[in-house]
Amino acid sequence: MAWYHPRNLGEYLWRLSAPHVILSILLVLCLFLGELRFDWAERIMGAYLASTNAGRPESGQIWEVGQQARSAYQALEKIVTDRLASQREARESTAFVQLAERLQPGQGAMLSVDHFRRLYLDLPETSAREVANPLRLLEILSQHRCDRVYVSKNSTGSGLTVNLLDTANQILESLDLPLQVLSLNREQEALHGGRLEQWPDFQGGIYPADLFFQELGSLSEEVREAVVLQPRRLLEIEGTIVRVAISNEVAGGYIRLGFEAMVAGTPKVLLTRGREWAVWQIHSRLEDRAGNGAAAVPGYGERS
């Protein structure tokens, strides 16, 4: 038997009651109770990990979760910033065509009633009547039933949807603004330098202006208004209209027309759009007259 092995139970118990054993047990017990009360072990370990954090590689599940959270936060912040910017730009728009350019498909903006009224009045009279009945709008706005207006670009990007809302967010009236109507106003804002031949879709459909207006005058008033949607814009040209062109392409029920005028000795072209069904009527008449030998404008050559 080893000399350090107790020979009986009494000697075993006597060894357990030795002062150094009791002190060791009390020390371990104090450390355990102190850990439960003050969490000193976790604090020491945390302080050590924090001090060595910069030198340790970013790896592991916790690091990956943190990186994903940061990426998601940055993406969300960008989305919110872009949306706020688009909302601000939309509220600063002075025309529906600007609003359509600044909104992404599926995106919308809330406008005040006064802002919507200004945008609506900016539309050409003919286009405005196509968008909404002015008397219906007058009925809604004069009774102060409309509290605000929500304008959104449809998912296909082909136009705008305007919802007139009351104080309970109920839709009083829903309006559709096709891009063809919006582009009509933008297209007629300025004269283009050059001749009609520079537009490929006008090839084969250029006629003398006097012949065009002669045939236009022989049509009914309804057809004339559908061919030339904004006659006032033509009257604003400070020159003589010498040739008129009709496009061979149809877009959204409209056909483009070009009016070439001599402004201070320089050829200028004004682009407009007319209703397809009306433009084809005058186009067929012009083709018949051209086939019978109608004269072209002097100095410009025969019809292309």
- Measure the CA–CA gap between 178 and 159, rounded to whole angstroms: 4
- pLDDT, tens digit (0-9, with 9 covering 90-100), for 249-274: 887 678 889 999 988 888 999 888 88
Task: Give the pLDDT confidence score for residue 7 in this predicted structure.
Answer: 67
| Alpha-carbon gap, residue 170 to 168, rounded angstroms | 5
Number of residues assigned to the chain: 304
Q: Give tens-digit pLDDT for 83-128.
A: 666 667 666 777 787 788 888 888 888 888 888 888 888 776 667 7
Q: Tokens standing for 1?
A: 């038997």
What tens digit of pLDDT does each residue of 10-54 get?
777 777 777 877 888 888 888 888 888 888 888 888 888 788 877
Scored b (16 or more CB within 10 A) or e, 161-196 reads ebbbbeeeeeebbebebbbbbbbbbeebeebbeebb
Query: Over the stretch 155-164, which tens digit does the pLDDT of each residue have?
Result: 777 788 889 9
User: pLDDT of 230-241, one tens digit each?
Assistant: 787 788 888 889
pLDDT at position 208 is 92
pLDDT for position 3? 52
pLDDT class of 301 with cuts at 50, 70, 90: very low
Among candidate residues 231, 252, 245, 230, the one with its CA nearest the CA of residue 186: 230
d(CA 198, CA 187) in angstroms, rounded, equals: 16
Query: Element (H or E) spanning 211, and its range?
Result: helix 209-217
